[in-house]
Amino acid sequence: MTAVNVKASTTIAAGLREEGWAAGDLDEEFGEELTRGPEWQRFLSSWERLALDPFMADGGDYRLRRYSEFDCTADSVRLLPHVPYTQAKDINYLNGGVDRLFEPFEDEVANGPVVHTLLSWCARQLDETEGRGGATWYAQVFQNRILARAGRSGKPAPEGVHRDGVDYVFTVVVGRHAVDGGVSGLYEPLGDGRHGKRVVSVALQPPGQFLFNDDERTMHGVTPVTPTSEDIVGHRDTFIAVITRRD
């Protein structure tokens, strides 16, 4: 598989523009079985090699992750030099205010067709949403695995309902194993870190169901995941891009 070039989805762009969010399925959007080819399987296998997140201020050992940054357009994706991930404390009260230097994406993942396809597709949707043809978008991207053990739930959003301090957030669930929970929700922002009523609630399923939201117009959160059996360590795997306009 080479990186797939597809047109912008008017449904996704219209949802983002009019409602501040859109949800869907990658295979339906791409018009092909994106998640059933060997390139997707190699992409998926990289979640088995994520590193423990050492920056959890709650002391949790339930999150594994890698992190890389990209500049992307509708036609190209460029991996940027590896740097720490930073958030202001007023955006992330739990883990903000610290330079968090995570392990980067493996080379074959960062430069592979799946990541390039997903990020160029995101850029195309955002161009259509904002009427900014040919724009460059700055994507801070995570591979996350949240573990769920007997008596110890995992928290996909340990800071609770929040914003990420960017323009848009794109979340794809790539895997779930032996877990309940992990329901994504979007909420009306009230300012000062407070949220109002829930706008939407969706239990994204693998492989490839996604939620795309405007980070200025919505706040987001995810319920904890719990194991379906005391004898199994379950997990929920996601690909998350937080995306900001380049000037």
Q: pLDDT band at 98, cuts 50/70/90?
A: confident
Residue 189 binned pLDDT confidence (cut-offs 50, 70, 90)? very high
Task: Give the other-Cβ count within 10 Å of 239's Cβ.
Answer: 23
pLDDT of res. 9: 62
Distance CA 1, CA 192 (A): 45
**pLDDT tens for residues 117-158?**
999 999 999 999 999 888 999 999 999 999 999 988 999 988
Rounded mean pLDDT of 5-16?
A: 74
Q: Tell me what percent of the residues of the chain surpass a pLDDT of 70.
A: 96
pTM here?
Answer: 0.94
What the chain holds in terms of domains, given with CATH numbers, is: 10-245 (2.60.120.620)
